[in-house]
Chains A and B, each alone.
Chain A
């Protein structure tokens, strides 16, 4: 199974490999301005995808999709943002979590692993990109993604799959992706993944010291079910609160085991059949 290694440079590029890059989205400073959503659509020439009032807080975007590659979630909760001595607040504790979601650019990327045409590929920067001129719209990547990120665009009539490219047409030339460039509070940080992980660990410590309840990193662990995200997060609550899977797994990771199990089952079946035939004879 072609598995992407967890080291900081992508395998298979040899000399062309560059340092692996990604996003660290620090939701503790996200102000929910949605500049990332707009910058993403402007740069990537994505169309609007419906003027729909959802009545779900300030989120009229809903989810990531083929025409939405950044999505800011808004979650209203009856708990205080900061655990303080209780003075100064009005007895109705409240916090409003905001978080800009994006493709995770998994180390072990199921979408890429299942793609039969090679349209999905690992770039020399370690990001995962769909080539729209190769994708044939088979849609196998869609159920493979443990986050529900990649999606087919029906509007074009061919159902090709689309998702965040981590602004490959910017990053390969040394530019910052559009969303990170537009973010006014540096909630979305772009850079070499190793550096971002170091920064995130420090940031988590600082946020915990400031008394933010429930702060945690999500997707920074290279030992998780997708071998770590290329785009990971600092969250202030459990991932499922933000609509994120708590324990995502690349389903193709177990393909080897599954083939093994299938082979064993097949062998057992063959043995049984043979035994019965032999028995008849006997």
Chain B
């Protein structure tokens, strides 16, 4: 999550859902929290009951809107314009929380004089390389602190997103202090003034033209947020994949982060940015990643172009100041956890046994590699890309080009059955007898059939215990990968090949339990937590050493098994403990519930107000204390000044709360870490029916387009054929279903609640296109044509943008041809086009057209549908 990482230092939600109940104003945007996070939504309802404003901003009126005190309808894909309007109104009217901004953000820092803004370059920042289609980011740095980017690092451009997601970017700061500052925030090149100029064109009137939100409401939104911020009050932002699934998604999150820093809402109760994750352990799957470009704890994966020495790697990726200054201890402890006795100082702790990345190896690149036969085999677990992938039709065809495919799931999903039950087979575009892929379906154990942990949306690690043994051949993921590794190691044993040492030297001795020889999940948790020199579980990452005497599978999880106790399994009721509920599960880092909570006190360590007190400095005791685990060096006084030569956290001042950042500040301006700009810019989605009214540069210049014959993009406004796709398409989820549907469409009691794919349209669009409620419609893009039932509803309403009426079509994406709840697959309609930082596809805004009736291919085969429009 580089949007949060680059702003605050850690790639996780800054707060926890229970704390939303303490908020005075909650803005839910890019999220349908009531539908997709119904259990956590109780805390939003609690805030509303206490009188908080709950503002939902969305293209559609959803179950979340129905629960909110206010609803603003905007055009899909225009969020940065609206948030930019809020930032502009705050800055033009002096509504910022001045003391917080001056001391806790980088507002005062002077930026390099070579930096040029989108204001100067018509929508581009300085450093743009039109040939490579990427930025040289050196001119975005703090003045006199230029970070030289080596050739190798520049080539990594496309792979660094998640690597930058967890702070550590301020690598070259000495003493934790930027070289030049203007505390008065008046220097023309200080961040505050740059920000003010950058957003000055986002006037309420311009925002109305871009978003469809009336100018008066833009002002109302900014005023309402400002009125509910400051010493006595706090506002929170809640977002989910409605923000991340755009070609400029990371910058959506940056926009909210900037608002929250300007209004002083980060690190305080009822404030923050609540990132709601897509499903149960998505946070966990980036902490201990299923991604190709980071190692556990957001340590970058080494790149093939780099100087291959451990020293060089540690030098590049550890920071002078802040807790990333201890990066060598995190990394060497990780290598010790993986290679144990074989990892010695002499062999660089087996650093050269880590794989190296050579390019962008993210999910969509893998799909194209399958098409191009560079990827021969695929193990697909916990995912149903035949339904869930953008341009799912292309993905299904790509699977037909594989030599082999392994699918692990509870049900024979669309991915497992693509070779005989798919739209391509039905339409005759693929024939089973022509598909050479050898497909293995391995039944998976459900969560009730195995022990393990979830790391949820608020960094909370929660343990689940096995209730019953898995049936038949069903096995857990842990069982599968452990025994797969065991068998591979047996087959390689005796190999003298150097390339096999990485596998053969791994620590792989997990105890197994029961008849099926299930590996002990708790033994894995203990390995993740880490062991000290005495072989006992350690309690905190500050105990880790860079001399090989400690081991740790993921430094941010240190403490989850402190003292040999499974902290994640704690379930003390909230009624029996303080507000932060520290004994319910365990949250990384160090069981903190609100991150950067040093900021809940003023720079002298005093709470900003009694009403909003959370963590403060106790001068008598000489330590930070309060309602939560202080996110600060516990005995560092607020007036601490780092002496010369201080390193890591000791190099930051006592009044700088963002302890993962090299300068201890929240970043209004991100001098590094993001590949598409130091500040958010309104760019149109890759497919959009209007021009960019602000700049000549239409869409995010760095977006990944992956143009291929089967991945065409709809013509943009002004291009030939743009009028073929006059409507905006947005996709989403329903409470009743889960992502690709493997866990819901195959379950009768869920499937009957939303049994068929439908599209939601306004009565106005229905009249324009002759669509009948309950009838059929065909929705088309340049990728595909699908059919769906029609739901005509006032919850959809056209917006007026750029002086014209624009219709939006909504579709839940869960459906496929199998299970009890069936339908065509809306993801077939979407292009593979991605955000450049994190390679997330743009599924929330595209263009399409819609007409009444069923899709042509199906109508031909089945004859006309009786009664269909």
A41-B749, A42-B749, A88-B217 known; A60 vs B70 contact (CB < 8 Å)? no
Find chain A residues with CB under 8 A from B821 CB.
51
Interface check A87, CB cutoff 8 A? yes
Report the nearest B residue to A41, measured CB to CB: B749
Interface check B441, CB cutoff 8 A? no
Chain A residues 17 to 52 lying within 8 A of chain B, measured CB to CB, are: 29, 31-35, 37-38, 41-42, 47-52
Q: Mark B731-752, 1 if CB is under 8 A from A, else 0.
A: 0001110000000000011111
| CB of B20 to closest CB in A, whole Å | 13
Find chain B residues with CB under 8 A from A210 CB.
51
Q: For the complex, what is the distance from the CA of A97 to the CA of B754, rounded to whole Å?
A: 18
Interface check B616, CB cutoff 8 A? no
Find chain A residues with CB under 8 A from B734 CB.
58
Q: B66 touching A89 by the CB < 8 A rule?
A: no
Q: A89 touching B63 by the CB < 8 A rule?
A: no
Report the nearest B residue to A52, measured CB to CB: B755
Interface check B795, CB cutoff 8 A? yes
Report the nearest B residue to A33, measured CB to CB: B38
Interface check A238, CB cutoff 8 A? no
Q: B755 touching A60 by the CB < 8 A rule?
A: yes
Q: B754 touching A58 by the CB < 8 A rule?
A: yes
Q: A34 touching B736 by the CB < 8 A rule?
A: yes
Q: A48 touching B42 by the CB < 8 A rule?
A: no
| CB of A126 to closest CB in B, whole Å | 28
Q: For the complex, what is the distance from the CA of A262 to the CA of B756, rounded to whole Å?
A: 54
Q: Mark B63-81, 1 if CB is under 8 A from A, else 0.
A: 1011101111100000000
| CB of B677 to closest CB in A, whole Å | 30
Q: A31 touching B38 by the CB < 8 A rule?
A: yes
Find chain B residues with CB under 8 A from A91 CB.
214
Q: A37 touching B753 by the CB < 8 A rule?
A: yes
Find chain B residues with CB under 8 A from A49 CB.
752
Interface check A55, CB cutoff 8 A? yes
Interface check A158, CB cutoff 8 A? no
Stretch binding the partner chain, chosen from A74-82, A168-176, A244-252 = A74-82
Interface check A95, CB cutoff 8 A? yes
Q: Mark A156-184, 1 if CB is under 8 A from B, else 0.
A: 00000000000000000000000000001
Q: B748 touching A88 by the CB < 8 A rule?
A: no
Q: For the complex, what is the distance from the CA of A37 to the CA of B794, rounded to whole Å?
A: 26
Chain A residues 62 to 118 lying within 8 A of chain B, measured CB to CB, are: 76, 78, 81-82, 84, 87-92, 94-98
Chain B residues 38 to 73 lying within 8 A of chain A, measured CB to CB, are: 38-39, 41-42, 45, 49, 51, 55, 61, 63, 65-67, 69-73
Q: For the complex, what is the distance from the CA of A29 to the CA of B34, rounded to whole Å?
A: 11
Q: B38 touching A88 by the CB < 8 A rule?
A: no
Q: A53 touching B758 by the CB < 8 A rule?
A: yes
Q: A33 touching B795 by the CB < 8 A rule?
A: no
Find chain A residues with CB under 8 A from B38 CB.
31, 33, 35, 184-185
Interface check B221, CB cutoff 8 A? yes
Interface check B789, CB cutoff 8 A? yes
Interface check A57, CB cutoff 8 A? yes
Interface check A123, CB cutoff 8 A? no
Q: For the complex, what is the distance from the CA of A52 to the CA of B758, rounded to whole Å?
A: 12
Q: A48 touching B748 by the CB < 8 A rule?
A: yes
Find chain A residues with CB under 8 A from B754 CB.
58, 60
Report the nearest B residue to A91, measured CB to CB: B214
A42-B749, A53-B756, A88-B55 known; A76 vs B789 contact (CB < 8 Å)? no
Q: For the complex, what is the distance from the CA of A81 to the CA of B221, rounded to whole Å?
A: 19
Q: For the complex, what is the distance from the CA of A76 to the CA of B795, rounded to whole Å?
A: 8
Find chain A residues with CB under 8 A from B752 CB.
48-52, 60-61
Q: B217 touching A55 by the CB < 8 A rule?
A: no
Interface check A186, CB cutoff 8 A? yes
| CB of B57 to closest CB in A, whole Å | 10
Q: A94 touching B794 by the CB < 8 A rule?
A: yes
Contact of B749 among A32, A38, A89 (CB under 8 A): A38
| CB of B301 to closest CB in A, whole Å | 39
Q: A53 touching B69 by the CB < 8 A rule?
A: no
Interface check B790, CB cutoff 8 A? yes
Report the nearest A residue to B67, measured CB to CB: A31
Find chain B residues with CB under 8 A from A47 CB.
748
| CB of B138 to closest CB in A, whole Å | 44
Contact of A185 among B45, B774, B797 (CB under 8 A): B45
Q: Mark B765-783, 1 if CB is under 8 A from A, else 0.
A: 0000000011000000000
Q: A32 touching B217 by the CB < 8 A rule?
A: no
Report the nearest B residue to A187, measured CB to CB: B45
Find chain A residues with CB under 8 A from B751 CB.
48, 51
Q: Which of B749, B755, B795 has the most CB of A within 10 A?
A: B749
What are some 12 contacts across the A-B interface (CB < 8 A)?
A31-B35, A32-B63, A42-B749, A53-B789, A55-B790, A55-B791, A58-B734, A76-B795, A82-B69, A87-B216, A88-B70, A206-B49
Chain B contact residues, CB within 8 Å of chain A: 34-35, 38-39, 41-42, 45, 49, 51, 55, 61, 63, 65-67, 69-73, 213-214, 216-217, 220-221, 224, 734-736, 748-756, 758, 773-774, 789-791, 793-795, 797, 820-821
- Pairs A-B, 10 closest by C-beta atoms: A55-B774, A51-B755, A96-B66, A48-B748, A53-B756, A33-B38, A88-B70, A31-B34, A48-B752, A184-B39
